[in-house]
Structures are given as C-alpha cells and as structure tokens.
Amino acid sequence: MSSEKEISVCEEAVFSKVYNDNIEAVRNFVYYKNGDLDKAEDIAQESFVKTWQKCAEVSFEKVRGFLFTVANRLFLNDIRSNKVRLKCESDAPKNVNTESPEHIAIGNEFKEKLEGAISDLPEKQRVVFLMNRIDKMTFAEIAEQLDISKKAVEKRMGIALKTLKEKVIELKTHKI
C-alpha cells in the first residue's frame, strides 16, 4: 500500500488545474463534431459541471478521458435528431491584395469547395483530420482523447486524406 496521498479531483485547486489544462481541448473536440462554437463552449462547460458533480468517482489519472467521454455523450444527446454539418469559419487576411478579382474569386470558390469537402467527411474522419491539422495533435494524443487505438486514428486519417485528395483532383480537373 502506498503512503502517498492520491490526488483528488474534488480539491478546488486540482479541479481548477484540470479545467485550465483541458477546457480548450474539450471545446475544440465538440466544435469539430458540430461546427457551432457557442454550442461547443456550452457542452464543454457542462462537461466540467458533470465532472465536478462526480469528482469523487473520477481518479486524477483518468479525469481527461472522463471529460471527453462526458462531452461526447452530451454532444450525442444534443444532436440525436439532427444531421451535423461542420461550418468552417476563417478570417480572410485584411491586407491589400494585388491579385485580380477573377483570381481571388476562383481562390475563394476553391476554398469554399475544399471546406465543403472537409465538412462532407464522415464525422469520425473529420474529427481526426481536424484534431491533427488544426490542433496539431499526434495520432497517439487523438487516440487517447477519442478512446480508440492509434491504428484506428491512422486509418481514419488515411481515408480522410485520400477522400480530400480525390476531391482536390476533381476540383482541379474542373478548373475550380
């Protein structure tokens, strides 16, 4: 039996650290699933409330996984009857552009179609793709957060990349 005291998630200082270390990742995880930042923030906050309510049942070592499980369940409950579409938002650079309006329009159209292709990916592939490309998470980190194997992450990413590559080739062939 160990003489060291186990770290309790129910201690305010510990929970505060857990919150600060994980709130952004939990929010992004839900955002990648539903495309609604406000809803993602609400679900992330609710995930922490539920975790606090069950803090005595959650070990410090497993609290991160517990948070993601709670967030995923809350997300699934929220969208049970709705089809999810990711709406990619990006801020265009505010600097002056010397490109021709036609070139800019073609670039914007290509970007819209690419974002559409990403949002058309099946949810599991889209989530893995965005966690890797936007959050710069490794496959091992993604596997841990989604509670799946690293091989499953690799397979989902491979299929997502193949699908997107085919879509880009298709767009190039159609001159868009």
Which residues span the domain enclosing 162?
A: 101-173
Q: For every one of its 176 residues, what pLDDT tens digit does the chain have, with 9 covering 90 and above?
A: 443 467 888 888 999 999 999 999 999 998 888 778 888 999 999 999 999 999 888 888 889 989 989 998 888 877 654 443 333 334 344 454 566 777 777 777 777 777 788 888 888 888 888 888 877 888 998 888 888 999 999 999 999 889 888 888 877 776 55
For every residue of 86-128, DSSP letters joined together read: -----PPP-S---S-HHHHHHHHHHHHHHHHHHHHS-HHHHHH
Q: What is the dihedral of CA 31, 37, 41, 43, to 10 degrees?
A: -50
121-143, pLDDT tens digit by residue? 888 888 888 888 877 888 998 88
What is the number of domains present in the chain? 2
Specify the CATH number for the domain of residue 21: 1.10.1740
Rounded to two decimals, what is the model's pTM?
A: 0.52
| Residues 53 and 117 reside in one and the same domain | no
106-123, pLDDT tens digit by residue? 777 777 777 788 888 888
| Residues 120 and 68 reside in one and the same domain | no
Tell whether 32 is covered by a domain. Answer: yes
